[in-house]
């Protein structure tokens, strides 16, 4: 699977992507706006040219993202502890989590369609 394929899948899912190359691997920075209009991004690494490692990183991000905990941290950071802001932050982060999961699923599906077995990822 080509990097351009990953970018196309990400764009289809509403993400913008920048790729950074380092000695350790390729880093994909995924960016989008929350439902509330705030910018959001996360980074996932593609290691050893294996797209499955990118999928694993995205799934790890999804698993670690607890919308309620994130909302509390965000509200504390901005210093506006209103119930409306908290609820919007929870909805925003739940939506981000869903879109990141769909991104991982679509990349994985495309990878499988390319004829790769899961051990080859």
Q: Rounded to an integer, what distance in angstroms lies between the CA atom of residue 67 and that of residue 93? A: 5
pLDDT tens digit sequence for 89-98:
999 999 999 9
The share of the chain scoring above pLDDT 90, in percent, equals 62
Per-residue pLDDT of the chain (121 residues; tens, 9 = 90+): 688 899 999 999 999 999 999 887 899 999 999 998 889 999 999 988 889 999 999 999 999 999 999 888 888 887 777 888 889 999 999 999 999 999 999 999 998 776 554 433 3
Using the structure block, give the residue that is written with the tokens 């509330």: 36
């Amino acid at each position: 699977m080509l990097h351009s394929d990953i970018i196309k899948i990400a764009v289809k899912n509403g993400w913008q992507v920048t790729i950074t190359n380092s000695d350790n691997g390729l880093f994909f920075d995924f960016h989008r706006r929350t439902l509330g209009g705030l910018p959001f991004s996360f980074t996932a690494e593609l290691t050893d040219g294996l797209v499955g490692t990118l999928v694993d990183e995205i799934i790890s991000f999804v698993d670690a993202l607890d919308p309620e905990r994130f909302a509390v941290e965000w509200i504390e950071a901005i210093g506006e502890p209103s119930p409306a802001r908290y609820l919007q932050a929870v909805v925003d982060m739940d939506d981000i989590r869903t879109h990141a999961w769909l991104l991982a699923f679509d990349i994985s599906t495309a990878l499988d369609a390319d004829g790769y077995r899961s051990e080859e990822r």
